[in-house]
Each structure stands twice: as structure tokens, then as C-alpha cells.
Structure 1
Amino acid sequence: MGWLVVWSCLLTGPAQAADLVDLDIAPQELTTALELFSRATGMAVLVDHQLSSRRHTLGVQGRFTPSQGLNVLLSGTGLAAQYARADAFTLQPVRVREVPLPPGVTPGLSDSNYAATIQAVIQRNLCRSPLTRPGSFRAVLQVWIGRDGVVQHSRLVSSTGDLMRDRTLVNSLQNLRIDRPAPSSLRQPVTLLLLPDSSGKSMECTAGEGVSGR
């Protein structure tokens, strides 16, 4: 097992949690992106190379605190930061947070029925934008859903081939609410395969369903 260890010290010292830094990290392999992030922020990174090497980031551009920038960098990777201190972190696979169900609500669907509910909600969500409207691209997604039916994390396993679409797709899943609470037996993450029309198995949008202009 290999580890990526980056101890990056700036002349002004490690960045503090409240400091703002300019980040311009393009989409690329996560391992390389973490090295660039460490150099830009002065944060120490200790990461299992096997965990990060098979993943890609959609990058981060803009002015952020180091923790905010890291959250953007990790968006859609299925990984989360675990801080050893304010200026040092490791990465771990995301986990579903325990959240209480609304009073009087109990999950009653089987996993197979709930899978159909997930697909219907995500399809409706994707149909709201012409950029993510199903049928013109292929992608593999994973989502982690809390007991309350809210998508807590996502991972873009394979790109759609369009960076803007990738970002819109990942952003559209943040805090998306499934119509019903998740059954306790639901296996996480839930994997979704989006296929183009040519496959004959793609999701379909009804005419004008929730579609808005860019």
C-alpha cells in the first residue's frame, strides 16, 4: 500500500482556516490535484495512494478558505477529508451520516421498489436542464442516501465527456431529496448508469418536463 505524503510549508507559514487563497486547479487525477492543493494552501496531506489514484476531480477555481476549497475539490469523488488538525488532513471514503426520520414516518419500501423511486427522482432532476437531459451521454454515478431520503454524497465514476455537464450533474445531486425515506436495508452507495438513446435503455423525459434554459 502506497501513501502520498505532502508536507507543504509556505514562507508565511501554513494557511489558517480563515485565510482566503486563490485556487486554480484544473480537472485531473485526484492524486496530482492534491499535490497542487497542498502547495497552494500550505496544508499537509497524508493520503492512501491506492484510494486516490483511481479517482478524478472536477477541479476548483476561485477564492476560498482552504477547507472550502478542499470540499469543492473533493465534490463528486466519493471521498471526504478527515482533519488531524486545522492544517493537516487525510482522506476516507464517504459514509452516510445518521439522521432521524420525521416523526411518524417509517420506511416501508423494498430495496427494489426504492431503486425505482431513486431513478424516477434523479430522472426528473436531470430533465430540468438541457445540459443534463438524459439521452445524449453516458455516465456512471454513485450516490449515498440518508435515512431521510436526502442525497448526502455522490461520485462521478465515469465522465460524460463534457466538463460543464459533469459539474452540473454533480452539483444537481447535492442535497437532492428522494420522494420517500430510504429503507434501512439499502446498500450504499447506489450505482446509476446513464445511457445514450442509441442503447435503447436510456432515461426519458416527457415533453417539456421541468426543462429550463441554461
Structure 2
Amino acid sequence: MAVLCLLAGPVSAVGPVDLDIAPQELTTALEQFSRATGMAVLVDHGLSSRRHTLGVQGRFTPAQGLNVLLNGTGLVAHYARTDAFTLQPVQVREVPLPAGGAPGLSGSNYAAAIQAGIQRNLCRSALTRPGGYRALLQVWIGRDGVVQHSRLVSSTGDSVRDRALVNSLQNLRIDRPAPSSLRQPVTLLLLPDSSGRRMECIAGDGEPGQ
């Protein structure tokens, strides 16, 4: 049976608030968020206790701050009212395929397309360039080939790199539409040089100076 816990701050914030929540376990981060904003949070510990957040720093409205806090967790907020919400796992939204779009590839062929698209994207920055770290990620890809959500399952050990990884996946477009048979989420394992099975950046990938 799921264990639910209601977290609530003293008074719900109306306008923007200053948030300074460091990367940490999501459950404790939600407690801090609730105290800072006054928003009531109904937490299912079966969902939140195994997840981490990249945190949120800056001045935001409560809704904006919550979106940042949940980025990369694989969870989204469902509002019961403007000052109260629960959490639920993300799902792929139904989107129309591009006009004249080719049918998606299947099986290992589409897996190769995903790897190629993500590899090119990661190679654009020295911070996310594969080869120097290990990370486990999950992505949810729409029928149009656009990454709709992501989750950082295991940290790289560097919170700045973690945030860059998650941000790099936002709205990333794979070259081909996703096949209807694609099982979601897609799990990605990034390995360091020593594994012998890492992604490699090739000439033409990335941009100098980043």
C-alpha cells in the first residue's frame, strides 16, 4: 500500500518567491519547497523516495519553481487547486506526426537513431561530452520523435553536469518519428572511456569552445 504524506507550508505564496533548494532526494526537497511557498503537497513515497531532484535556485512563481524542481525526475504535478498538488509519473502526450513524415524504424534500427541523436546533442558541450562519466537516464519520446520528458536515474557525481545533461534533452528531436511499438521510457546508459562501450564524438560533432 502506498504511503501518502501531506506537506504544507504556513501560507501559500501569491507572487514570485526566492527558492534555494540544492540537489537532493526529492522527498526532502518537496518539504523545503512546501515551506518556502506554502503549497500543499500530497506525496506518494513510493514515487518520490527513490528519486532525486537537481534543485531550483532563483526567483520564481510557485508553479514555475515546481516545474524546475521536477525537471529530470520523471514526475509531473497534478493540481487539485492552485495551492495544492499531487505527483504522478509522466506519460507521453499524443502528438500528430509531421505532415509527410516517414514511418518510424523498429527495434534496433530505431535504437540506433536514438543513440545517434543523443550523441550529437551531448557532443555539443565539453560538460556533457561522453567518455568522462557514467550516468543512467530515461527519456519519453513522442510519436513525432521529440523528447517530451527525461529522468536522471543515477547521478554523474557532478550536480552541474547532471543539470546540463537533463537540460540538453529538453525538446531534443530524433531524426525519425517513433514507432508505435516503442516501449516507454527508453533507458540510456552512458559509460566512461574505461568501459570500452562508450559513445564517441566524431569530427563535426559539437561546437568549438563549448
Q: How high is the TM-score relative to the length of structure 2?
A: 0.97
Return the match for 1:21 from 17, 21, 36.
Answer: 17
Does the alignment pair 1:78 with 2:74? yes
Work out the CA distance in 2 between the residues paired with 1:141 and 1:40. 29
Local SS of the residue matching 1:178: coil
CA deviation after TM superposition for structure 1 residue 110, in Å: 0.9
**1:130·1:211 contact (CA, 8 Å) conserved in 2?**
no
Aligned residues, how many?
A: 209
CA deviation after TM superposition for structure 1 residue 85, in Å: 0.6
Which residue does the alignment assign to 1:9?
10
Local SS of the residue matching 2:76: strand
Does the alignment pair 1:183 with 2:179? yes
Work out the CA distance in 2 between the residues paired with 1:212 and 1:150. 26
Aligned identity (percent) is 80
Query: Over aligned residues, Cα RMSD in angstroms?
Result: 1.1
Local SS of the residue matching 1:32: helix
Structural mapping, 1:127-166, within 5 Å:
127-166=123-162
**1:5·1:45 contact (CA, 8 Å) conserved in 2?**
yes
Letter aligned with residue 46 of structure 2: Q
Return the match for 1:94 from 75, 90, 102.
Answer: 90
Gaps of 5+ in 1: none
Return the match for 1:123 from 104, 119, 122.
Answer: 119
Q: How high is the TM-score relative to the length of structure 1?
A: 0.95
Work out the CA distance in 1 between the residues paired with 2:126 and 2:163. 14
Local SS of the residue matching 1:209: coil
Return the match for 1:211 from 198, 207, 210.
Answer: 207
Letter aligned with residue 115 of structure 1: A
Which residue does the alignment assign to 2:32?
36
Local SS of the residue matching 2:116: helix
Work out the CA distance in 2 between the residues paired with 1:35 and 1:212. 42
Instruction: Write out the 4+ residue segments of structure 1 that deviate beyond 3 Å after TM superposition.
Output: none
Gaps of 5+ in 2: none
Cα distance change of structure 1 residues 23 and 106 upon mapping to structure 2, 3 Å threshold: same
